[in-house]
Structure 1
């Protein structure tokens, strides 16, 4: 059964705004129950979650924002963007919404790194997490394989590449990272581009891409947090993603004790867009396990 799409024009009308460090941040929240924070990836925005939004809100209090520099949130040109500050932003949003319960995280791509930092902060008693599920992302710098556009944005000419970035460039990049049978339609590409282009977004792409070297700086902190094992974790991964596909999952299984992983064959970098029903099924099964863990039978 297909999940209903939320058109971008409708999604935008449902947004609310709060101010973070003087910048306008767009956010969405709906539903009741345990708080579930969705954290989007690069270079897109929270609309990435629109297929999953309604079914998740039937069970949880779902929260998402367009992070600083993304989507319809502010994109200041003279700003040094960092994953650490994006984690600060997520905590500020939770405080703005008076969230006091332990929070469940569901993250993708760039958002995986933000979630990793929040996980590290959990062990420092700066936030209380109940679980975390990662979709495709660079959980380990050594397994991240950037596409050509990311490499160009990281180069000394990145500021020029960003200013020249167009819808056609986005289409070429997305063709590389989506599954062969699940590529976005022209209409979806229009919407993705609208979110990138909003507030002159291409001019700051070279600043946002600084997350790639930042992951190397924080690698040991974040991997150590994942290895602690006190917060339940799962990876749901599109296996044919050239950036962080099955090769990343193999590394995860090497490093994380009792690794809980799901690989979706023939799916690329955006599982929540390419195979939302599968992602929803595997996410809800993970949450159900937290409520009803498998019974251990003792034999004598």
Structure 2
């Protein structure tokens, strides 16, 4: 059990606000003072993933986070062509909405890593300013990404049906495989993860959200080049035993990225921010201290 006090889902939801992006309601959160830090969550969950880190980070930074389109308490339009590039547009729109027009730090996880990679590429294109970027477990390289069974099925011809049949039990089964053996979520945590997935009939769009996997392959060269370019401090903090993007992904990162800054968390799986939030906080703050 973590020593950091998390935020109950009910309380978290009560603190949210909304803005509109191309006719869709996006739920977002902001708190704290200081340099802006944008938090970007992963698939299939939501910004509540950051709830253990939220209060400690607000003591130092101005935090901004939203539930991405199709996730959590944001709109989940049926028939929408979801895209990582559009999710990056949403991040920029959110920053503008809350009045941030200078450099922003980024902390991302999983699907959010891909959104962060696109923002990094846009930084080098002069379209946004990033001050630093830290990646938690995610598919930074398509060649090292090992999707779980339900992701493969969602990508297949029966994806719409697989999504509609997705349930709390199937979520529990998937999470049991990707979390660390000693850090699996409690029943109440699983209930809350599921509530966010199920909100606004989320399972009905999962087969559309999963198109991020082939989209990553399309964008690979642009995104890897952006990470290799330098100029923006980067760190990977990674749960080592994650079968999707654990130690094997970090090994590839060390091969491809100059002066790689990587931290492996032994015994931790795919969700280090909920499995080992104290360790993530320690390594994140050390990274920021080193680049002051």
TM-score exceeds 0.5: yes
Tell me, which stretches of 5 or more residues in structure 1 are unaligned? 292-300
Aligned partners of 2:196, 2:36: CA distance in 1, in Å?
Answer: 26
Counterparts of residues 124-135 of structure 1 (less than 5 Å): 124-135=125-136
Q: How much does 1:101 deviate?
A: 2.3
Structure 2 residue 99 is the aligned partner of structure 1 residue 90: no
- SS of residue paired to 2:6: coil
Structure 1 residue 229 displacement after superposition: 1.0
Secondary structure of the 2:153 match is helix
Matched with 2:182 is 181
Give the alignment's TM-score, normalised by structure 2: 0.99
> SS of 2:20's equivalent?
strand
Q: Distance in 1 between matches of 2:291 and 2:35?
A: 12
1:19 is matched with which residue?
Answer: 20
Structure 2 unaligned regions, length at least 5 = none
Paired residue secondary structure (1:218):
helix
Corresponding residue number in structure 1 for 2:31: 30
SS in 1 for 2:65: strand
Structure 2 partner of 1:101: 102
1:28-79 alpha-carbon deviations (Å, 9 max, x no partner): 0000110000000000000000000000000000000000000000000020
* Separation of aligned partners in 1, 2:276 and 2:207: 30
**Counterpart in 1 of 2:81?**
80
Which residue in 2 is equivalent to 1:297?
A: none
Question: Is 1:51 aligned with 2:52?
Answer: yes
SS at match of 2:76: coil
| Alignment-derived partner of residue 285 in structure 2 | 284
Please give the alpha-carbon distance, in whole angstroms, between the structure 1 residues aligned to 2:283 and 2:178. 21
The alignment's C-alpha RMSD in Å is 0.6
Any idea what SS the aligned residue of 2:4 has?
coil
Give the TM-score normalised by the residue count of structure 1: 0.96
Question: In structure 2, what is the equivalent of residue 230 of structure 1?
Answer: 231
Provide the rounded CA distance (Å) in 2 between the counterparts of 1:289 and 1:5: 27
Deviations 1:80-114 (A, max 9, x none): 00000000000000000110220000000000000
Q: How many residues align structurally?
A: 291
- The answer to whether the 8 Å contact 1:108/1:136 transfers is yes
